[in-house]
Chains A and B, each alone.
Chain A
Amino acid sequence: RKEVEQDPGPFNVPEGATVAFNCTYSNSASQSFFWYRQDCRKEPKLLMSVYSSGNEDGRFTAQLNRASQYISLLIRDSKLSDSATYLCVVFASGGSYIPTFGRGTSLIVHP
């Protein structure tokens, strides 16, 4: 079983919609979590970190549920420019800076 799992989608939503993705991880000792965004034919770029208490960055909210071992990304008021693949990234404990990437969730925002 892959350590980090995401629903590949695609999630097809109209502009203005709210959409949420989950990412589950199997290593209960995982310490650090992030969301990256990858546009078509482009490299991944860091979108936001995921903090235990949850965090917001504009229209984006990231949350961590340690008990159920998943992180989530909520996008409010979707824009056409939000269309991309969203990758969750998990780092194990012990000061490891080697990430495990999920396979990504594709989001398509249509007019």
Chain B
Amino acid sequence: DVKVTQSSRYLVKRTGEKVFLECVQDMDHENMFWYRQDPGLGLRLIYFSYDVKMKEKGDIPEGYSVSREKKERFSLILESASTNQTSMYLCASARAGFYEQYFGPGTRLTVT
């Protein structure tokens, strides 16, 4: 079974803090994705990566950056957290050339 894990299920941070969300997959997938999910807005793509050290902006990259130093790990960074970044963050991975995405359990981030 594909396993995608995220470093925390729940996280509470203060405005202005630097926040790291980690995602690890164990199936040697080339593609990895970060989404946020908000009520009424659905899943929105923040960034994706199709290879180590490669990244592409998604629909809502502002206020976020990413890092992929190893194939299995994709990190989302909030340089200076703001209250409007309170959300559920979901990581996903997919094999290159395939559409099916496997999601992690999500991190519910609250910024106060």
Listed in ascending order, the chain A residues whose CB lies under 8 Å from chain B are 8, 32, 34, 42-46, 49, 87, 91, 97-99, 101-104
Contacts and interface: CB of A to CB of B under 8 A. Distances in A.
Nearest to A4: B42
Contact of B43 (A32, A42, A44, A46): A44
Residues of B in contact with A, size category: 20 to 34
A91 B48 CA distance: 15
B21 interface: no
Interface of B: 31, 40-45, 48, 50, 58, 90, 94, 96-101, 103-106
A44 B45 CA distance: 14
Given A91-B99, A97-B50, 13 more contacts: A8-B40, A34-B100, A43-B104, A44-B101, A49-B99, A87-B42, A97-B94, A97-B96, A97-B98, A98-B45, A99-B45, A101-B44, A103-B42
A105 to B, nearest CB: 11
Contacts of A91: 99
Contacts, number: 42
A5 B104 CA distance: 24
Contacts of A102: 42
B42 A99 contact: no
A44 B40 CA distance: 16
Nearest to A43: B103
28 contacts: A32-B99, A34-B99, A34-B100, A42-B105, A43-B90, A43-B103, A43-B104, A43-B105, A43-B106, A44-B90, A44-B103, A45-B103, A87-B42, A91-B99, A97-B31, A97-B50, A97-B94, A97-B96, A97-B97, A97-B99, A98-B45, A98-B48, A98-B58, A99-B99, A99-B101, A101-B42, A101-B44, A103-B40
Considering residues B40, B42, B104, which has the most beta carbons from chain A within 10 angstroms of its beta carbon? B42
A72 to B, nearest CB: 18
Contacts of A44: 43, 90, 101, 103
Contacts of B99: 32, 34, 49, 91, 97, 99
Contact of B101 (A32, A46, A103): A46
